[in-house]
């Protein structure tokens, strides 16, 4: 994923789990035409019946959700965004928090949440051709070469700074292979209660059915930042990377709010976390910053504008959070992992059973972002099976506002890029 090299777009579709509950939504979705904007990424909003059980009922609603605070940026164009307090987990404001969208390289946060602590930073690995097999054409690369020995720390710097899919694949092979790593990532997502996420690849590259949400990406960032290594890697601006022999070359972090690249002002107090881009996913970014003793998390997905728009919209939402966040009454919460005592999702109402494989529907247009789908039939499956799914995956792995309201209480920006977004 490089924001200078557009990739072949692939339609984002729902995972099998999410698709189970979409049958009831077909009449509503079928009444509207598919999105006409060529660059628009097809997306489906999960039903309130399911999403409301994860983080709170308001987060399951479409449109801007905010209480007790005013002054949200007026020109946001993102299809989904969320502002949360890192420590308390309170969601201060959101827009389509559970909308399913392609995540691009922000999915690498889940990869790190899953694999980071499995290897010591000083462990060394000599890369083989097999380690680099199967990397999708057009991927962002840090420059890993077969025959060179790297430390685990160097590989992780390649993942976080350059969004290197080559580094991801090497670490995945060290972890037992790509399939094993994908299974472990899905199990980790289930444990984190990131039920909007369906993992197809460990690197976030465009793949049919690979989706996540602003809510889930914020969960990944929050739990990743609790790890000292994760926090150190995502906040590193530059590093020396092996080139063979005793030679090295410098790599730079592609997070423009961290480095100030491409004319984007650095954001005071920014910690990280991860950016991403593909032609299918558009731009995605989850950022964290600390000011005045408070740390906020912001996720922005798929703004209309190119270049640096995703960073501009993130900065605007961080500014709002630091100015108005103390006045905001929470509209939801970032839930705790099941493995740490988090309460599992429970259905808010009994939903009709839907046939497996019910078709997913794309959003109706680039400006009509309301609720267009329903997944009520999946509630019981996801709620009752979360723990079992997590255990089974671990074993297998061996180990309401329409778009016009956004203009009234939310912003607009622009983004296109050049090798600073990855998948």
Residue 163 annotated among the catalytic residues of the structure: yes
Q: Please calculate the CA angle 125-126-130 and round it to the nearest 5 degrees.
A: 110
Of residues 81, 99, 82, the one with CA closest to residue 18: 99
Residue 235 annotated among the catalytic residues of the structure: no
Task: Check 47, 108, 213, 304 and give the catalytic one.
Answer: 108
- The tokens of 276 are what? 């991403």
What are φ and ψ of residue 174, in 5° steps? -65, -30
Task: Return the bridge partners of 272, or none.
Answer: 288
Q: How far apart are CA 347 and CA 203, in angstroms?
A: 32
Q: Please calculate the CA angle 188-189-195 and round it to the nearest 5 degrees.
A: 150
The end-to-end CA distance of the chain, in Å, is: 4
Of residues 45, 259, 220, 20, the one with CA closest to residue 115: 220
Task: Check 80, 163, 201, 213 and give the catalytic one.
Answer: 163
Q: How far apart are CA 36 and CA 278, in angstroms?
A: 19
155-194 as b/e: b if 16+ CB within 10 A:
bbbbbbbbbbbbbbbbbbbbbbebebbbbbbbbbbbbbbb
Of residues 401, 408, 310, the one with CA closest to residue 74: 408
Q: How far apart are CA 21 and CA 3, in angstroms?
A: 34
Task: Check 47, 105, 201, 279 and give the catalytic one.
Answer: 105
Q: How many alpha carbons fall within 13 Å on the CB side of residue 342?
A: 24
Q: How many residues does the chain have?
A: 423
Is residue 305 a contact partner of residue 414, using CB atoms and an 8 Å limit? yes
Of residues 194, 204, 421, 397, the one with CA closest to residue 303: 421
Instruction: Sort residue 315 into left (φ over 0), alpha (ψ -120 to 50) or beta.
Output: alpha
Of residues 394, 356, 341, the one with CA closest to residue 181: 394
Judged by DSSP in three states, 217 sits in helix
Kindly list the catalytic residues. Answer: 105, 108, 163
């Amino acid at each position: 994923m490089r924001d200078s090299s557009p990739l072949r777009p692939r339609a984002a579709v729902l995972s099998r789990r999410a698709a189970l509950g979409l049958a009831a939504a077909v009449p509503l979705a079928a009444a509207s035409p598919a999105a006409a904007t060529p660059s628009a990424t097809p997306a489906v909003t999960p039903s309130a019946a399911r999403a409301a059980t994860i983080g709170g009922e308001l987060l399951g609603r479409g449109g801007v959700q905010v209480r007790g605070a005013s002054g949200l940026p007026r020109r946001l164009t993102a299809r989904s965004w969320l502002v949360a307090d890192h420590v308390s987990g309170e969601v201060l404001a959101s827009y389509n928090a559970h909308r399913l969208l392609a995540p691009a390289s922000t999915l690498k946060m889940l990869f790190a949440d899953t694999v980071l602590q499995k290897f010591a930073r000083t462990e060394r690995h000599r890369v083989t051709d097999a380690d680099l097999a199967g990397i999708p054409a057009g991927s962002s690369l840090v420059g890993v070469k077969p025959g060179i020995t790297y430390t685990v720390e160097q590989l992780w710097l390649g993942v976080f700074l350059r969004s290197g899919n080559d580094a991801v694949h090497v670490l995945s092979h060290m972890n037992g292979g790509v399939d094993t790593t994908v299974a472990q990532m899905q199990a980790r997502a289930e444990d984190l209660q990131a039920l909007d996420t369906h993992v197809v690849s460990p690197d976030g590259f465009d793949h049919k059915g690979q989706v996540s949400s602003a809510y889930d990406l914020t969960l990944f960032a929050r739990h990743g930042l609790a790890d000292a290594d994760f926090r150190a890697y995502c906040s590193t601006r530059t590093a020396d990377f092996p080139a063979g022999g005793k030679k090295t070359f410098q790599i730079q972090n592609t997070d423009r709010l961290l480095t100030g690249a491409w004319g984007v002002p650095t954001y005071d107090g920014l910690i990280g976390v991860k950016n991403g881009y593909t032609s299918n996913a558009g731009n995605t970014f989850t950022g964290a910053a600390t000011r005045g003793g408070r740390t906020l998390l912001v996720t922005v997905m798929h703004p209309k504008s190119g270049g640096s728009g995703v960073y501009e919209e993130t900065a605007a939402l961080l500014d709002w959070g630091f100015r108005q966040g103390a006045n905001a009454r929470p509209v939801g919460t970032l839930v705790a992992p099941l493995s740490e005592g988090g309460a599992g999702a429970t259905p808010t109402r009994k939903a009709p059973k839907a046939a497996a494989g019910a078709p997913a529907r794309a959003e109706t247009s680039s400006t009509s972002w309301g609720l267009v789908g329903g997944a009520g039939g999946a509630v019981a499956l996801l709620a009752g099976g979360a723990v079992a799914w997590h255990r089974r995956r671990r074993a297998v792995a061996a180990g309401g506002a329409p778009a016009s309201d956004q203009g009234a209480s939310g912003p607009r920006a622009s983004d296109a890029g050049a090798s600073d977004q990855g998948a």
